[in-house]
Amino acid sequence: MNPKSVGLHHITWRATASGVADETVVADAIAWLVGDHELVEIEHTTSYHGSGLHMVSGVCKRKTDSLASLARIGMENLRSLLDDLEIRFDENHTLHFRLDFNAFIDGDVVLAAPGQVTTIKCHTKVEVYPGQVAIEECKNILEAAYEKAKAEQ
């Protein structure tokens, strides 16, 4: 599959850390996902109850960078996303999933279980043009990311 034949508008990764946590660890994790520290932002804010929070996000806006970012989650996770595509892909052409934050910090990229609290949230917008079937375009993206992950093994 030619990666240029498929496209992502963007990919966004977000994580929340408590005010006492080392936000640079979270920022480093997000930077690895997006492939560039310059694409990571840390927002210092407070929770509803007033405690400090760090909102860490990274966004890739270029198609090739977005596909590379998606490929970083690995072949096994990409296969799982393909298997669960019906529940993870919405009517706005956006793919949603979460990574287990604690496993990620320990060096393992694992899709989070439903209801898991500590996660890195991802959403990525798939390009869909008139005459294209949205879910097929998302499958093409995941397959292209899978091939990229396989080639980088």
Can you give the chain as a three-state secondary structure string? CCHHHCCEEEEEEEEEEECCCCHHHHHHHHHHHHCCHHHEEEEEEECCCCCEEEEEEEEECCHHHHHHHHHCCCHHHHHHHHHCHHHHECCCCEEEEEEEHHHHHCCCCCECCCCCCCEEEEEEEECCCCCCCHHHHHHHHHHHHHHHHHHCC
In the chain, the number of structural domains is 1
pTM of the model: 0.90
CATH code of the domain in which 59 resides: 3.30.1440.10
Is 3 inside a domain boundary?
no
Full residue range of the structural domain in which residue 147 is found: 9-151
Taking only the tens place, the pLDDT of each residue in 73-107 is: 999 999 999 999 999 999 999 999 999 999 998 88
